Structure 1
Amino acid sequence: MLATSPQTSARLPVSPALFGQMRAETLPALRPQVAPQNRMNFTDGQEIFAEGDDAAHVYEIVSGAVRTSKLLSDGRRQIDAFHLAGDIFGIELGAEHRFSADALGDVTLIVRRRVSFTARAGEDPAAARDLLTSTMRMLERAQDHLVLLGRKTAMEKVGSFLLSLMERSNGGDHLELPMSRLDIADHLGLTIETVSRTLMELQRKQAIEFAPCSRAIIVKNKGMLRRMAE
């Protein structure tokens, strides 16, 4: 459920799920002026919305990271996406969330009503084009993730994941990972032991190295990492 932030005392109804990553800067026509009361803060592990909650709002990440996931019938967790600063998530076709969303560390979100967000697309041709373009990008990400889950080896999965994070972090070689290795495993359809072994193998081959502290990874050889991900 939504938490109350210092900027607002009203409890907003919980909100919408996601198809992949939609970038806020690709939707200029859909971004009205943000009122201070539309910002909400969440702490590490705090639930933003749960599967089955009403999909009444759309979210933009100002800072931090969010994971969206589904709990399977056998108790396993499948993480479908990680959302970073600048991403928009929570857009649903139906009335309810298909996934739950949780904060990875401290997170600040901009919360907009879904009806207002989609109404602009219906009224403004530029907004409609922005929304269509971003929806197609989300579909591409979903298709890439299906291939990654179904066809790639553990090395290819982990390599592809790190390359994707690099691209979303403007190509920088220093990757601050807000997610744990268990999160990565649940996203890639691997065990945490396999993820750890694969990262150690990438370090042994000098494609990456682990930063002295935190979960940061430094990509030392992007070309090698790309070859190992193919």
Structure 2
Amino acid sequence: MELQTAAPRTPVADCDLCAAFATASAAPRSPFKAGEQLFRQGEPVRLVYRIQKGAVISYRLLSDGRRQVTGFHLPGDFVGLEAGIEHATTAETLSTVHASAMERVELAERAATDSGLVRALWQVTVRAFHRSEDHALILSRQAANERVVAFLLDFAERLGHPEFIDLPMTRQDIADHVGLTIHTVSRTLSQLQTEGLIEARSTRHVRLLQRGRLEAICA
């Protein structure tokens, strides 16, 4: 069953960027099946994507073979806006994904003469920076329950603070994102459920029962 990953309404500041994607010359095959890669770490940056439906995971393979999940991208998010000439991460679909794409060269050419597009790109870049900061804050927490709760609350915020959360990622994905083992993530979720803070109806469906107490854990 395909997971529903609705996202908050696209900010008004992004409208110029969305319009640029709507008229872009690049037209990659869509939809992408779960498990397909939009691009790989180390590949030259050619296309920038805007997710319309589904979810995408981005990760970096470290020199020792470990995987570091750097982010999860939902509808309305832009993927592939790199500062360098090569992709720093691999982007892979977690579900069936519909996405529009634009050549980075074309995006740069349009931005050179479109101040509205420049402002939109700035807003997207700032939000990406804030997401990196949020991820760093999660990793800085010492206790496993703090990391897992911080992740759940952050993901819920991105979805508009729903009571029920459909997680498009696996527990291994979460573990690689918050710097824990999958066993620790599973044990922590079970502990939170025993304490009545959440209800994990399945490995992908979580209900936040005591949001105030959850927020207190991360305070």
Structure 1 residues 51-66: aligned runs within 5 Å? 51-66=41-56
Deviations 1:206-225 (A, max 9, x none): 111012x5611011111111
Compute the RMSD of aligned alpha carbons: 1.9
Equivalent of 1:96 in 66, 83, 86: 86
Equivalent of 1:30 in 14, 17, 21: 17
Distance 1:24 1:116 in 2: 22
Distance 1:24 1:88 in 2: 11
Q: Which residue of 2 aligns with 1:129?
A: 119
* SS of 1:52 mapped into structure 2: coil
Higher mean alpha-carbon deviation, 101-110 vs 141-150, is at 141-150
Q: Does 1:160 align with 2:150?
A: yes
Q: Which residue of 2 aligns with 1:202?
A: 192
Distance 1:117 1:155 in 2: 42
* SS of 1:175 mapped into structure 2: strand
Q: Which runs of 5+ in 2 are unaligned?
A: 1-8
Distance 1:152 1:145 in 2: 14
Identical residues among aligned pairs (%): 40
Q: Which runs of 5+ in 1 are unaligned?
A: 1-22
Structure 1 residues 213-228: aligned runs within 5 Å? 213=202, 215-228=204-217
Deviation at 1:105, TM superposition (A): 1.6
Distance 1:34 1:146 in 2: 36
Higher mean alpha-carbon deviation, 191-200 vs 30-39, is at 30-39
* Superposition TM-score, scaled by structure 2 size: 0.87
* SS of 2:53 mapped into structure 1: strand
* Superposition TM-score, scaled by structure 1 size: 0.83
Distance 2:210 2:175 in 1: 23
Q: Does 1:110 align with 2:100?
A: yes
Deviations 1:69-118 (A, max 9, x none): 11111111000000011111111111111111111021111111112223
- The number of aligned residues is 207
Give the conservation status (yes or no) of the 8 Å contact 1:39–1:108. no
